Amino acid sequence: MGREKKKGTSGNVKAFISREKALKKLQLSLQEFRRLCILKGIYPRDPRKKFEGSDKTYYLRKDIDFLAHERLIGTIRQQNSHRKKVVKARSKRRIDILKRLALSAPKTRLDHLVLERYPNFVDAIRELDDPLCIVALFANLPADHNVGIAPERVSRCQCLLREFHNYVAHTNSLRRVFVSIKGYYFQADIMGESVTWITPHRFSQILPADVDYSVMLTFLELYECIMSFVNFRLYTSQNLAYPPKILRPADAKALELSSLVVEKTAKSDVDRRQGQGDGDKDEPNQLPAETVKIAEKLAMEAKNEEDDDDYEFDDEAPGNDPDMADGDESSSQAGRSGVFNGKSVVLGREVPYAELEFCLRAAGAEKVSREDDLTDTENRLSGYTHWIIDRPKVSGNRDMSLEYVQPQYVFDSINAGLLLPPSLYTPGAPLPPHLSPFVSEEDDGGYRPWFKDIIERIKAGDTSVVEEAAAVVYTEEAAKYDKTGDRKKKRTSEENNRRNEAVKDSQEVHNSSAANTKEVVDKDLEMEIENSSHDTAEETVAKELDNRIDDGSAQGADKKDEEPEDDEDEEGEEEKISKSNSERMDKEGRDMATLMLSRKKMRQYQKHKRMEDHKLATRDKLTQKRKRLEAARAEREANKAKRKRQ
């Protein structure tokens, strides 16, 4: 016989551990354990045999052993100890101790987690989609301390996103743009990898109450650190100073990319920091010293890897000089020409400025200005080539040297890779379809939009296709209006048919009732003739004629009375239809006005609505109570009267 195995030394019991035992082993709370698992990338597992019950959550034992050696656990314990000291000093009202504790608060460092997750810089670029989407989301959310979103967090996300957009615009790396109801989809080509992210529309956001913001904020904490490393590495690879300087007057006007000053350096950012020493301590938005040190180490390792790969490819190639590697990459990417290369654009006050400025600068536009920033001189539009406008028509005098186009012109031109004819995007004109560059014919079941063929013909140099495309667009718009008119005519004819059927039904009911009345009258006449023996035949005939005359006059009166009732029914139906349409339009208008409210106005509106609902509910309760009291009083009086009669 073999040696008997001890219980718990092999199988699922050895490979897995329940969450309750993991918390006890690590001596952490559930919230701290969840945060640590998110930061380290550890997820629950589903063993085939759940040895402690199916209602438990299981983890790999080796993952928990890996977490036991994490330095963040020590930081968490230091923070818990520091929090207890703060509570104790606050209860004793020791202001001096509180000030000292505020300066010595332990901070969480996530730099080592970035190095663990991404040994190579290309790996970080390849998985940059999620960090960019989360950072862009929180950059457009309002600060709310109730859910843990601090204003400093929102400002930090806005800064990181703006720095990344500035790099994409500087290197002309933007490849695809698509505008949907969710926001703006962007795709850039960075170091040979496609990075796709979405930026939400800049509307007043309402934070839903059924979202766990603590989980999202934990992910954001990690993604902020990743974005800091990525931005630092991208800027240093182009020999650009990081972080870029911010022009305070332009930043106060919310000029986005125009407020950033990109400075080129003759040597790498690492050498620049070593040469300046402690001179960068007062620079705004400066990264911590430990983060900079690790990022510089990562940058040097990535640079050495690139140099080694170049030498393995061709040792005698003139472009493989390790001292010129970053410079060649910078010149090659910065030298790309976009579709708006050399163009100067004016953005109207009604268009989305931040997204259009980013797209235009990434497409090579030389100058992008807002309508409000133009001077009032006569030559204020000299040098400009395009004016992006989203109004039905151009207000004021139209400058014939400018091309007035709608915002879709910018996005479609970037996706097409060339400047499309501006005549298709004139203000107030129906626009061609905005095609998604992320959907191919194979994904869409072999369907090929007609405007895609138009773009291919424009690329081939066919100038006659512009009039054809405009004719197709106008035809589609006319078809839409015709369909709307047909629907209205169909609805009107259906209503008329229903009314005619109702009139016919009422006439049939009236005729059947008249016939029944006539039969009853005839029977009564026969009974009277049989019973009255003293009446002569002439008197009987006269009575019958008189009765029939009376019946005819009564039927005529009934018809006259029913005809206006039918008219009244038709008028009532029309009034109901018009009333329902007006109520629906009023409701849509109220909903649209509610969406356009600011956050403060929205809170006031919701408070007012709750008060009105409370008033209506109270009034209904009082009305029902009064009805019950009146019914009880009437019942008592009836019982009293009944007793008196008895």
- Looking at residue 553, its amino acid is S
Residue of higher predicted confidence among 612 and 529: 612
**What's the CA gap between 164 and 154, in Å, rounded?**
16
Alpha-carbon 622 to chain mean position: 43
Using an 8 Å Cβ cutoff, are 149 and 208 in contact?
no
- Report the C-alpha gap between 154 and 143 in whole angstroms: 7
Query: Can you give the C-alpha Rg of the chain in angstroms?
Result: 40
The pLDDT-based confidence of 449 (bands split at 50, 70, 90) is: confident
Distance CA(244)–CA(166), nearest Å, equals: 9
Tokens 């000030």 appear where?
99
Q: What is the pLDDT of residue 375?
A: 75
Long-range contacts of 486-495 (CB under 8 A, 24+ apart): 495/573, 495/577
- Cβ 50 vs Cβ 81: under 8 Å: no
Report the C-alpha gap between 423 and 405 in whole angstroms: 8
In the prediction, which pLDDT does 517 show? 54
pLDDT at residue 339 tops 70: yes
Residue located via tokens 């004021």: 396
264: its two tokens:
């080129």
Cβ–Cβ under 8 Å, residues 131 and 226 = yes
Stated as kind and residue range, the H or E segment containing 475 is helix 465-531
Dist CA 343 CA 550 (whole Å): 93
Question: Half-sphere exposure of 211 toward its Cβ, with a 13 Å CA cutoff?
Answer: 10
* C-alpha to C-alpha distances, 345 to 120, 184, 358, 405, nearest whole angstrom: 39, 20, 12, 11
Q: What is the pLDDT of residues 360-405, one digit of tens each?
A: 999 999 999 988 888 777 777 888 999 999 888 887 778 888 899 9
At 431, phi and psi to the nearest 5?
A: -90, 150
Residue type, 286: Q
200 bridge partner residues: 183
The per-residue pLDDT for range 550-605, each reduced to its tens digit, is 555 444 544 444 444 445 555 666 677 777 777 777 777 777 676 667 777 778 88
Span 48-93, pLDDT tens digits: 888 888 889 999 999 999 999 999 999 999 999 999 999 999 999 9
**How confident is the model over 267-279, as pLDDT tens digits?**
544 455 544 444 4
Nearest to 592 by CA among 71, 204, 236: 204
What are the residue boundaries of the structural domains of the chain, listed by start? 13-103, 111-334, 363-463, 475-596, 597-646
With both helix axes pointing from N to C terminus, report the angle between 213-237 and 325-334 in degrees, rounded to the nearest 10.
Answer: 110
DSSP symbols for 405-435:
E-THHHHHHHHHTSPPPGGGG-TTSPPPP--
**Which band of pLDDT confidence, cut at 50, 70 and 90, is reported for residue 282?**
very low
pLDDT value for 518: 53
What's the pLDDT score for residue 333?
A: 43
| Amino acid type, 204 | S
Q: What is the DSSP letter of 13?
A: H
Pick from 359, 471, 459: which is nearest to 418 by CA? 459
Q: What is the pLDDT of residues 610-646, one digit of tens each?
A: 888 889 999 999 999 999 999 999 998 988 888 888 7
User: CA-CA distance, 271 to 462, in Å (whole number)?
Assistant: 53
Decide: helix, strand or coil at residue 585: helix
Tokens of 425: 């995007």
**Across 290-306, average pLDDT:** 56
Q: Please give the order of strands across the beta sheet that includes 344-347.
A: 367-370, 344-347, 386-388, 403-405
Other beta carbons within 10 angstroms of residue 595's beta carbon come to 11
Contact present, 207 and 603 (Cβ < 8 Å): no
Specify the pTM: 0.66
Least confident of 211-220, 393-402, 494-503, 512-521: 512-521
